[in-house]
Amino acid sequence: MDGILLIDKPENITSNRLVQKIRKHLKKITGRDIKIGHTGTLDFFASGLMIITVGKGTKITEYLQGLDKEYIATGELGKITDTYDRQGKVIQEKPCNITQQELEKIVLSFRKTYMQTPPPYSAKRIKGTRAYKLAKKGLEVPLKPKKVTIYQIQLLDFSPPEFTIRVFCSSGTYIRSIIKEIGDLAGCGAYTKKLRRTKIGSFSVDRATGLEEFLMMTESETESILISVKDALYFMPEIVLDEGFDRRFTMGQRFKVPFQEKGTVKVLDRKLNLLGIGKVKEEGVLQPVKVFAN
């Protein structure tokens, strides 16, 4: 059982708890301890797509973490919470008088690349400690801004004081920060009331299985929704090796290949079975990075 699972996380459960439930269920239906992981958490109050890596799929976690994301989020104008979301304590309230046209102009101004400061209640590490743990103690959280890109952003609905946006962005973008920043520009602040992740790369939540439904699945049903490691790496260029070179790759040897572009590639044998991941270096030398073949 190797590959990835697309799971639709419900609201009001931690990502860690979701992973524990999946691990326990896989052991129950297979009788084996199967290694699993995930490619990025969602907040406790948020819902939507999580990619769960299974078996050999855990070897590609780092490559999936950097994929772009899409979210639909609802914010409430006129209030700011210490966590920037509905779980926090309201620390500021202001009346908000803004038209839909004015709000839409503000929302569209976020279609850019800029330095975004993460929320103080985040999983970012500061000298080894999670930022939210420092924030809970009332300590200052000196988080460094990070470059993020908002490729597309759209105002879907405005029903004062609430507004809903769709955001297509680079990995590492904090939607809670965007909602607050929109509120700041509106002159009254805002916090995130609802958040749903709808896409990771080309994987859509429409293809995902709900957690409760997954926990009722048999082993064969689970295998039927498992996406292979090869297909999960759809975004990575591929090299097909001739016989003999495939064995050299799986043995960890380096050799020249007729491939023009430098960078990370998925490596296949002549039958198009995935052998692993390699890196094409100077002068077309292929170096094995991760080997999946038995």
Half-sphere exposure of 244 (CA within 13 A, CB side): 3
Do residue 8 and residue 99 come from a single domain? no
In degrees, to the nearest 5, what angle opens at C-alpha 142 toward C-alphas 87 and 93? 40
What one-letter code names the amino acid at 207? R
Same-domain status, 89 and 159: yes
Regarding whether 210 and 163 lie in a shared domain, the answer is: no
- Give, for 1, the enclosing helix (H) or strand (E): none
Task: Classify each residue of 182-220 as buried b or exposed e, where b means 16 or more C-beta atoms within 10 Å of its C-beta.
Answer: bbebbebbbbbbbbbbbbbbebebeebbebeebeebeee
268 plus 222 within the same structural domain = no
Whether 90 and 55 share a structural domain? no
pTM: 0.89
Structure tokens at 221: 């049903």
**So what's the pLDDT on residue 135?**
44
Please tell me whether residues 177 and 244 are part of one structural domain.
no
The total number of structural domains in the chain stands at 3
Q: Measuring CA to CA, which residue among 254, 255, 251 is closest to residue 275?
A: 251
Three-state SS at 19: helix
Same domain, 192 and 275: no
CATH of the domain at 41: 3.30.2350.10
The pair of structure tokens assigned to 291 is 């080997």
Is the same domain home to 81 and 187? yes
Question: Which residue type occupies 124?
Answer: K
Mapped onto helix, strand or coil, the DSSP state of residue 151 is: strand
- C-beta separation of 155 from 165 below 8 A: yes
Same domain, 150 and 88: yes
List pLDDT tens digits, range 253-293. Answer: 999 998 778 899 999 999 999 999 999 998 889 999 999 86
List the domain range (segments joined by +) for residue 227.
Answer: 3-66+203-232
Active site residue 269: no
- Least confident range from 41-55, 113-127, 169-183, 250-264: namely 113-127
**Phi/psi of residue 119, nearest 5 degrees:** -65, 150
We report the CATH number of the domain holding residue 252 as: 2.30.130.10
* pLDDT above 70 (res 53): yes
Split at pLDDT 50, 70, 90, the class of 134 is very low
Q: How far is CA 8 from the centre of its chain?
A: 13
Residues 128 and 227 in one domain: no
Task: Single out the residue in 232, 247, 274 at which a domain terminates.
Answer: 232
N- to C-terminal Cα separation, the chain: 14
Average pLDDT over residues 96-103: 96
Both 130 and 170 in one domain: the answer is yes
Considering 2, 8, 43, 82, which one is annotated as catalytic? 43
Give dist(CA 234, CA 160) in Å, integer.
42
Q: Do residue 57 and residue 83 come from a single domain? A: no
**Domain end residue (candidates: 141, 175, 198):** 198
Do 173 and 116 touch, CB atoms closer than 8 A? yes
